[in-house]
Structure 1
Amino acid sequence: MKIYLVGGAIRNKFLGLPIKDKDWVVVGSNPRFFIKKKYKQVGKKFPVFLHPRTHEEYALARKEIKSGLGYKGFKVNYSPNVTLEEDLMRRDITINAIAKDKYGNYFDPYDGLKDIKNCILRHVSNSFSEDPLRIFRVARFAALLFHLGFKICKETLFLMSSSFLKNEIKYLEKERIWEETKKAFKTKHPNIYFKVLFKCNVIIYAFPEIYYLFNLNEKLYYFNKQYFLNQNIFLGLAYISKYTNKIDMRISFFLQLFSLNFVNCVSNKKKKLFLKFFFNFVKKFFFRINVPNKIKNLSIVFVKNINFLIDIHYKSSEEIIFLFKRINAWRNSEIVYKLSFLTDCYINFLNIFYKKHFYKNVFVGNYLKNVFKVAQSISFKNVSKKINKGIQIQKEINKLRKSAIDKWKCSIFNKKI
């Protein structure tokens, strides 16, 4: 029996990146050995075991033969006769197909070290095209390693664009697609992930809602669509990623970018209809790939209220109080601060790239935060003890909040004068 360190730990060591997890491959053994040593088995299709003390993963060397559709359509052979080279051959890209033994010797049958040196993402073998999930993995690695100069080689891009792989995407579990997308949104350049997927023409299969929104307005056919993508979508996602690494913030900003040209191209009568239509599409997108509520909720609130937030200076105190109720700000004050940040970023992005699209002398975000603090300062303590019915108490609180906001607005106006 021989044990080798494989995958990300070796790759990250040569790239100077943090090593978070260590994965091991075991050649010449069987499940009984690990069960006897009290390793915890995970996964039913092929044996992977967790070390009882370090909790690191130990997987038996295995070969995979395509036998069906999608990610699960494989027959797995993990007999003791499977060699290290055969195990490494089933991996996605060469930089992940390097192993090291306990003596420090490296085994690199597919030139992964050479590709690390040359900053190339290359498939290990033609079996790459048997697993549709690898499209998303390579796109995610392109985003992860973009700042180091890594690019996908032409041959791998060709395989990623194959009609066979695109057809198999529909058999992928939606959780698998979301998992790779989530990891991509955590990278420094999540825009590269989507740029690769657009380049391979897999967006229509992976994210049909995004594809539909991109092609929704016929007037865009008269412009350069690639320019629209690069300037509005990819550049906007790169912009927000400089200022926050939180997934919910990045996704919220990314989805809102798709409405930019569409709203400007429809008549005023149809704008409300379009915004409702756009909002429903965003909800469908989250539902289909099963995005967690914690991430989904912010995007839905931001997309639904962006126009109100942009013009919040001109809204009445009653409208602002109703906004706070609508977004559940009284119970979740954090959402106010996230919306203020996103709205400022959105306006600043449009001002930078659209030549002063908005003429705001006061930051919307600060205004939103300050007016919320004023409204939040009013509580049940300010209500007369004579009022004891729930509806009356709420009406009185809203009345006091309106009065406090009105006074605050007057003080702001007087300072400007």
Structure 2
Amino acid sequence: MKIYLVGGAIRNKILRLPVKDRDWVVVGSNINFFIKNKYKLVGKKFPVFLHPKTHEEYALARTERKDGFGYKGFKVNFSSNITLKEDLSRRDITINAIAQDKNGKYYDPFNGLKDIKKCILKHISSSFSDDPLRVFRVARFAALLFHLGFSIYKDTLCLMSSDYIKNEIKYLEKERIWQETEKAFKTKNPDIYFKVLFKCNLIEIIFPEIYCLLNLNKKLYFLNKKYFFRQSIFKGLSYVSKFTNKIDIKIAFFFQLFFLNICFCVPNNNKFLFYDIFLGHINNFFIRINVPNKIKNLSLMFIKNINFLVNIHNKSSKEIIFLLKKINAWRNPNIVKKLSILIDCYINFLNIFYKNYFNNSISSGKYLKNVFKISKSISFKSINKNIKNGIEIQKKINELKELSIDNWRSFLNKKLY
């Protein structure tokens, strides 16, 4: 029996990236070894075990044979005579098919080390097409490693674009699509994930809602200049990713750019009609692939309140208090922080991409945080204890909050002007 470290831990160590998980493959053994040594069984379709002390994953070397549709359509053989090379050959790309023994020696039958040096994401064999989830993984690795100069091998791109893959993708569970998409949004360059899927002509199948939004207008005409609509969307996603690693913020920004850009091309008399269509598309996106509600809610909150947030300097204190109440800011102060990041990124991006579109003397995000901080300082303790009626109490609290914001704004205006 031999045990090897495999996969992402080796790849990341060579690339000097953080190693989060270590996976092991066991060659020349059987299930009895794990049971005897008190490993915990966690695999269903094939046996995967957790080490009793390190809790790292150990799996028997195995082979897979296509026997159905989707990523589940395989027959698995994990007998004790499966070799290390056979196990590595079933993996997706060469840089993930490197093993290392206890002495530190590498086993690299598919030249993964060479491809790491060449910064190439390359499939191991034509059986790559058997598992449609690999398309998402390669697109995600392209996003993850983009800053290191990695690109996808041309023949791998051809496999990812094949009609066979397009048919197989239809059998993927929506949870798996979301898992890979979520991981892609966590990278520094999530725009690359979508660019790869777009290049492979898979967006229409995988994300039909995004496909519809991308194709509502091919080009954007603004300020007498031509901008490619698709380019601005991807640039925006890349831009916001420089300032945050929060996926809910990135997704909210992503969808707001669709709404912004297409609105520039929609006649005024059709804007309300389009708004309903737009919200329908993104709602379908969130529901169809089971995106968590907290992510969905931030996106909808940002889109529905974008005009207010952009012009918050010009809104009355009463209107600001109403907004803070509407977004449930006092019970969930973190939402203010996220909206502040979103609105500042939004304004700054537009000023770069559309040449000084906004001209605010103070950032809207900072303004939002300040008025929230001021309003938060007013509570039940701030009012006359003789007031007993609940409605009167809330009314008085709101009045004091408005007064405090008015005083701060008066001071700010004197300071600025």
Name the TM tier (shorter chain): over 0.9
Work out the CA distance in 2 between the residues paired with 1:360 and 1:120: 45
Q: Where does the alignment leave 5 or more consecutive residues of structure 1 unmatched?
A: none
User: Which piece of structure 1 moves more, 18-27 or 83-92?
Assistant: 18-27
Work out the CA distance in 2 between the residues paired with 1:274 and 1:333: 32
Letter aligned with residue 228 of structure 2: Y
Work out the CA distance in 1 between the residues paired with 2:360 and 2:269: 26
Q: C-alpha displacement at 1:159, in angstroms?
A: 0.4
1:308-348 per-position Cα deviation (integer Å, ceiling 9, x unaligned): 10111121222211111111001011111211121011001
Letter aligned with residue 71 of structure 2: Y
User: Which piece of structure 1 moves more, 135-144 or 21-30?
Assistant: 21-30
Residues 75-154 of structure 1 mapped to structure 2, 5 A cutoff: 75-154=75-154
Q: C-alpha displacement at 1:218, in angstroms?
A: 6.9
1:340-392 per-position Cα deviation (integer Å, ceiling 9, x unaligned): 12101100100011111122222111211111122222211122223222222
Match of 2:335 in 1: 335
Q: C-alpha displacement at 1:180, in angstroms?
A: 1.1
Match of 2:180 in 1: 180
1:241-295 per-position Cα deviation (integer Å, ceiling 9, x unaligned): 1111122221211121111221112233333343343233323222221122333
What is the count of residue pairs matched by the alignment?
Answer: 416
SS in 2 for 1:54: coil
Match of 2:319 in 1: 319
Residues 9-408 of structure 1 mapped to structure 2, 5 A cutoff: 9-217=9-217, 227-230=228-231, 232-408=232-408
Q: C-alpha displacement at 1:225, in angstroms?
A: 11
1:20-59 per-position Cα deviation (integer Å, ceiling 9, x unaligned): 2211111121112211211001111000011101111111
| 8 Å CA contact 1:279, 1:304 repeated in 2 | no
Letter aligned with residue 372 of structure 1: F
Q: 1:207 to 1:314 in 2, by over 3 A?
A: same
Work out the CA distance in 2 between the residues paired with 1:76 and 1:288: 30
| 8 Å CA contact 1:279, 1:303 repeated in 2 | no
User: Which piece of structure 1 moves more, 327-336 or 27-36?
Assistant: 27-36
1:82-119 per-position Cα deviation (integer Å, ceiling 9, x unaligned): 11111111100001111122233322111111111111
SS in 2 for 1:171: coil
Work out the CA distance in 1 between the residues paired with 2:218 and 2:354: 21
Letter aligned with residue 109 of structure 2: P
Please give the root-mean-square deviation of Cα atoms over the aligned residues, in Å. 2.1
Q: C-alpha displacement at 1:226, in angstroms?
A: 9.3
Q: C-alpha displacement at 1:165, in angstroms?
A: 1.0
Work out the CA distance in 1 between the residues paired with 2:314 and 2:19: 51
| 8 Å CA contact 1:142, 1:150 repeated in 2 | yes
Q: 1:225 to 1:210 in 2, by over 3 A?
A: farther
Match of 2:5 in 1: 5
Work out the CA distance in 2 between the residues paired with 1:125 and 1:357: 50
Letter aligned with residue 200 of structure 1: C
| 8 Å CA contact 1:375, 1:401 repeated in 2 | yes
Work out the CA distance in 1 between the residues paired with 2:220 and 2:229: 8
Q: 1:80 to 1:226 in 2, by over 3 A?
A: farther
Work out the CA distance in 1 between the residues paired with 2:288 and 2:298: 17
Work out the CA distance in 1 between the residues paired with 2:371 and 2:343: 15
Q: 1:225 to 1:26 in 2, by over 3 A?
A: farther
Work out the CA distance in 2 between the residues paired with 1:311 and 1:35: 64
Q: 1:323 to 1:355 in 2, by over 3 A?
A: same
Q: C-alpha displacement at 1:220, in angstroms?
A: 5.7
Work out the CA distance in 2 between the residues paired with 1:382 and 1:10: 59
Q: Where does the alignment leave 5 or more consecutive residues of structure 2 unmatched?
A: none
Q: If the length of structure 1 is used for normalisation, what is the TM-score?
A: 0.94
| 8 Å CA contact 2:218, 2:228 repeated in 1 | no
Q: 1:91 to 1:219 in 2, by over 3 A?
A: closer
Letter aligned with residue 147 of structure 1: H
| 8 Å CA contact 2:219, 2:228 repeated in 1 | no
| 8 Å CA contact 2:2, 2:26 repeated in 1 | yes
Q: C-alpha displacement at 1:396, in angstroms?
A: 2.0
Give the percent of matched residue pairs that are identical in Structure 1 and Structure 2.
Answer: 69
| 8 Å CA contact 2:13, 2:19 repeated in 1 | yes
Q: If the length of structure 2 is used for normalisation, what is the TM-score?
A: 0.94
1:189-219 per-position Cα deviation (integer Å, ceiling 9, x unaligned): 1111111111111111211111111122477
Work out the CA distance in 1 between the residues paired with 2:233 and 2:33: 52
SS in 2 for 1:388: coil
Q: 1:218 to 1:188 in 2, by over 3 A?
A: closer
